[in-house]
Structure 1
Amino acid sequence: MGYISELRKFIGCRPIISIGATILVVNDENKILFQHRSDTLNWGLPGGSMELNETLEEVAARELHEETGLVANEFDLIGVFSGPDYYFQYPNGDEIYTVIHLYIAKNVSGVLEMKDGESLNLTYFGKNELPDNIETRTKALLENLEDKLWNLGSSFAKY
């Protein structure tokens, strides 16, 4: 059981602050990997909360592999995002304010595989083909980065 799950035993659904990593995987067509989340039925980016004794890069590597089956040899930090736009309430009522460390995965290998039950689908989307039901924190990231996001792939090693 993870750190957040253990903490929830004591505080219930009340708001907490969670530090974590979100990962961008950009393919050769400059499309970004999204996951169709099983908990909210929305589309989001792979990522999750830090466990005790982990670095943020370890969080990024673990979450990328758990949620997509992919492995990256390196992660470049794009930015840190926090505040009211990154508040989230899970379907079970748990409230969270996330501090997102957004990374782009470099030297990615492996085969897409939904390993942990958190995804219903894994799909690459381009800027003009995004699904309508994007999770709120992912929407905030997309809005914060605007057009810069869709040009990241040209300056990084791609999948």
Structure 2
Amino acid sequence: MPISEYYLNLRKKIGSELIFNPSVAAIIRNRRGEILFQRPSLNSDIWSLPAGAIEIGETPAEAVVREVWEETGLKVSPTKVIGIFGGKDFRFTYPDGNQVEYIIVMFECTINSGNLEAVDGESAELQFFNVDSIPKLAIPYPREVFYPSSSERTLF
């Protein structure tokens, strides 16, 4: 779903002003350890992790499962929190002028089932990349989050 009813109603009231946007992102690896990224537009070289807003009444874990399904067609299970990110470096202005400052809970997820395809049409391309060849990203995640770790991270 491109934008929820909640955010549509909020934008009607405040226009394109800067808002906090509680969100989730997923690190999903294939059997070769490559990470899944999605490109929203074939006309851009900017990629992102499967990610999106937490809806009213959702837990972050529920949101990441839903967002991954919508954007990739994969059913996943979140296995651990990799980090929580926010601040001025996590601001983004959409092509329509809407401004957000993301507060992102990043999860590592495992694939349970599904076929790699954009269910909601938000992903123009889905591709796994080796950690050493990650594409240009819209959000400046710390590089460390892309490397496998057997413990919780303390990147805040």
Structure 2 residue identity aligned to 1:101: V
Quote the Cα distance in structure 2 between the aligned partners of 1:17 and 1:10: 15
Query: Structure 1 residues 68, 3: closer, same or farther in 2, change over 3 A?
Result: same
Equivalent in the alignment of 2:96: 92
Greater share of helix: 1
Which segment drifts farther, 105-114 or 81-90? 105-114
Q: Which residue of the partner structure matches residue 151 of structure 1?
A: 148
SS of the aligned residue for 1:96 comes to strand
CA shift at 1:84, angstroms? 1.1
Deviations 1:73-98 (A, max 9, x none): 33311110001110000011000000
1:127 to partner: Cα distance:
2.1
Quick one: distance in 2 between partners of 1:37 and 1:76? 26
Cα distance, 1:64 vs. partner?
0.4
- Structure 1: which 4+ aligned runs deviate by more than 6 Å? none
TM-score, normalised to structure 2, is 0.86
- The 5 Å alignment of 1:1-159 reads 1-38=4-41, 41=44, 42-131=46-135, 133-135=136-138, 137=139, 140-141=140-141, 144-146=142-144, 149-152=146-149, 155=150
d(CA) in 2 for partners of 1:130 and 1:106?
19
Residues 100-157 of structure 1: CA deviation (Å, up to 9, x unaligned)? 00001124321101111111100000123233x421x1xx21xx243x52224xx49x
Which amino acid in structure 2 is aligned with residue 151 of structure 1? Answer: P
RMSD: 2.0
- Taking a change above 3 Å as real, the CA distance of residues 15 and 79 of structure 1, as seen in their structure-2 partners, is same
Give percent identity, aligned residues only: 35
Length-normalised TM-score, structure 1: 0.84
Distance 2:63 2:43 in 1: 22
- The amino acid that maps onto 2:113 is S
How many pairs does the alignment contain? 147
The question of whether the paired residues in 1 share the 8 Å contact of 2:131 and 2:146 is answered with no
Give ranges in structure 1 of 5+ residues lacking alignment: none
